[in-house]
Structure 1
Amino acid sequence: MKHISCQYLELLDENTVRHKTPWRVSIFSLVVFLMTVVFLEGSPVYAQELVIRQSDAPLVKNSTKPPVGQLPLSRVAEGEHDIRRAWFAGPTSRYTHGVLGDAIEASQLVVETRSGHHIIAQLPPDRVFEDLEPRVVNLTGDQTDEILAIETHLQQGASLVVYDLVGDGLVPIAATPFLGKAYRWLNPVGVGDFDGDGAVDVALVATPHIGGILRLYRVNGDQLSLFAEYAGVSTHHIGSTELGLGRVVSTSPRDHILVPNQARRRLMLLEWTPHGWREHDHADVPGVLETSLIPVGPHQWRFQVDTGISYDVFVVQ
């Protein structure tokens, strides 16, 4: 069997070969080593890094003419399939948490369909939509839209609920459990295939103001089933109307998540694997992250810090 000298291996692992005594290793052993590196934890390792650069471009946000009755400070979301637009309405002061800029929450979720019909989901008196923008997504892959909304119980705190158009109604079809206590809130990050099984999962940050926990859920019938957690993150600060401080990064074989740490001074690129979480890279933010990460290109987002300066963050592979 052919051999190679230890001097070559010294480039691969300098801690393994320190002496000058000649020794040899089989090509088979080297191949096994390289396969372990390239296919770590059952999937290819792609060198990804985060790069943050100052930007002179303005931070431009999408804006549309508000529909009649739209909740103050809220935003209209647009769909791609059977939902044209969605927004929150029915302002109410029955829940006084006030973490989203004021103490006015929504009691209604309104959808405008492609055919021009308006459909309303009305909450009972013990609940509110503690939210500012419906997230129109496609969880089922059936060319129809679903909506993710933060639904809060006055005594049990927040839950993430999936709404769907069923017949002539807008109805909840799946949800996470409530957080269990009043004035406990969560903030969705987005959807993606986070476990590599081909199905769409949901990511959110629970209690982002008090030890935020990134949580991943699978859609399991009428439930969103928790399968992974990562502590020490935050995608919101009290009083802000900015909710998009975390983003899903599309990649293969599993989608990644770009999220700030609890202090919002560092961005982390995270991937869940069957063997646990992997931090591909992190980058320190030149200040405190204040705004949503606004998409401005493939794997590129723009944001502002507390000094008012804008930066772009890139995921480089």
Structure 2
Amino acid sequence: MPAADDFSPLTHPVPLSPPNRLAYITAGGGLVIESEGGTTALDVTPLPDARILVDEQERLLLLTGPSTLYPHAVLADNLEATGITLIETRPIPRVVTTIPIPEPSVVEGIAPIWADLTGDGVREIIVTLSNADQGSQLVVFSEAGDQIAAGPAVGQVNRWRHQIAVAPFGLAGELELADVLTPHLGRITEFFQLDDNALEVVATVSGYTSHRLGSRNLDSAAAADFDGDGHVELLIPNPDFTEFGALGRTADGADVVWTMPVDSIIATNLATVTSKEGHISVGVGRVDWVLRVWP
């Protein structure tokens, strides 16, 4: 098995079955699948801090082709991806496809959202594309690389959209995509629904954010039915990172349903664990070196 210094220090490996199979980004900038039978190095160049996603078939999805084409640098460095790569790990690891991002755009983030937004049982790939002409916009691709839909562009350079989650946020359980528009400035949470080939904003909430300027922590918010009332909430920090707000959809749009004080300042990503009974626990690390868990 690999030594600790074989791994990229900016992300984490992902386990695969059977035991002792591992996919990881190397310290030298490669992608490797390790098993007891040997090591497979794939012909891709990952983003150094890319988060590898794994689906039920143990396929991998990650951002590739690092570039300095759009040096916004709000996510800790000026490298952003110019490709999205899908990989099969069985029976033999191979690259299925790489979706190229046409210049001058890049993917501004560390991972796509890989979720069924259309409700047809097949996952789509959702990314934030950014360029110097129009800033950021959300774009939805099929796994084959076809563009399915796009949302509105911010319309200004160095203005970011942070994609958060796809979940049945709607009052009738409609699938919606949540993001934060300009998390360092405007701090507007948006809920989108898919309308043909467009992502349309159906509700907004101001005053909450999902990212600190310059941080690689892009998982500070999460979506689930945290209070067990049958409705999905978006749990997201306030601008001071001292409290979480649970944002829910309402008849008038969306609002803060309840809040959850942290009693310090949030220092890490938000983690969630679901028990066998379906109960969701939430945990976060604080700046005072305390792990705060809400069981």
TM-score between the two structures when normalised by the length of structure 1: 0.73
**Quick one: which of 246, 269, 273 aligns to 1:269?**
246
SS in 2 for 1:269: strand
Instruction: Give yes or no for contact 1:213–1:233 (8 Å, CA) kept in 2.
Output: yes
Displacement, 1:117? Answer: 4.4
Aligned counterparts of 2:119 and 2:56: Cα–Cα separation in 1? 12
- Specify the code of the residue in structure 1 equivalent to 2:117: L
Aligned counterparts of 1:163 and 1:146: Cα–Cα separation in 2? 6
Mapping 1:176-215, distance limit 5 Å = 176-215=151-190
Displacement, 1:257? Answer: 1.1
**Quick one: which of 46, 60, 72 aligns to 2:48?**
72
Name the residue aligned to 1:172.
147
Name the residue aligned to 1:151.
129
Name the residue aligned to 2:285.
304
SS in 2 for 1:293: strand
Displacement, 1:202? Answer: 0.6
Name the residue aligned to 1:20.
none
Displacement, 1:118? Answer: 2.0
Instruction: Give yes or no for contact 1:211–1:262 (8 Å, CA) kept in 2.
Output: no
SS in 1 for 2:106: strand
Aligned counterparts of 1:228 and 1:280: Cα–Cα separation in 2? 14
Instruction: Give yes or no for contact 1:159–1:175 (8 Å, CA) kept in 2.
Output: yes
SS in 1 for 2:72: coil
Mapping 1:99-110, distance limit 5 Å = 99-110=74-85
Aligned counterparts of 1:283 and 1:79: Cα–Cα separation in 2? 31
Aligned counterparts of 1:223 and 1:274: Cα–Cα separation in 2? 22
Q: Does 1:237 align with 2:212?
A: yes
TM-score between the two structures when normalised by the length of structure 2: 0.79
Aligned counterparts of 2:129 and 2:186: Cα–Cα separation in 1? 21
Name the residue aligned to 1:86.
61
Aligned counterparts of 2:113 and 2:251: Cα–Cα separation in 1? 28
Instruction: Give yes or no for contact 2:85–2:95 (8 Å, CA) kept in 1.
Output: no
Residue identity over aligned pairs, in percent, reads 26
Instruction: Give yes or no for contact 1:196–1:253 (8 Å, CA) kept in 2.
Output: no
Runs of at least 4 residues of structure 1 off by over 6 A?
none
Displacement, 1:175? Answer: 1.5
Name the residue aligned to 1:25.
none
- Specify the code of the residue in structure 2 equivalent to 1:109: I
Instruction: Give yes or no for contact 1:92–1:106 (8 Å, CA) kept in 2.
Output: yes
Q: Deviations over 1:281-301 (max 9, x none)?
A: 212222222221112334222
Aligned counterparts of 1:278 and 1:181: Cα–Cα separation in 2? 27
**Quick one: which of 255, 258, 263 aligns to 1:281?**
258
Aligned counterparts of 2:131 and 2:229: Cα–Cα separation in 1? 37
Aligned counterparts of 1:216 and 1:307: Cα–Cα separation in 2? 33
Aligned counterparts of 1:274 and 1:77: Cα–Cα separation in 2? 34
Instruction: Give yes or no for contact 2:202–2:253 (8 Å, CA) kept in 1.
Output: no
Instruction: Give yes or no for contact 1:152–1:159 (8 Å, CA) kept in 2.
Output: yes
Structure with the bigger percentage of helix? 1
Across the aligned residues of Structure 1 and Structure 2, the Cα RMSD in angstroms comes to 2.0
Name the residue aligned to 1:24.
none
Name the residue aligned to 2:224.
249
Structure with the bigger percentage of strand? 2
Instruction: Give yes or no for contact 2:164–2:180 (8 Å, CA) kept in 1.
Output: yes
- Specify the code of the residue in structure 2 equivalent to 1:188: Q
- Which structure has the larger Rg? 1
Displacement, 1:313? Answer: 3.2
Q: 1:174 to 1:117 in 2, by over 3 A?
A: same
Displacement, 1:125? Answer: 1.8
Aligned counterparts of 2:148 and 2:294: Cα–Cα separation in 1? 35
- Specify the code of the residue in structure 1 equivalent to 2:242: R
Q: Which runs of 5+ in 2 are unaligned?
A: 1-10, 15-23, 26-30, 32-43
- How many residue pairs get matched? 250
Aligned counterparts of 2:153 and 2:133: Cα–Cα separation in 1? 10
Q: Which runs of 5+ in 1 are unaligned?
A: 1-60
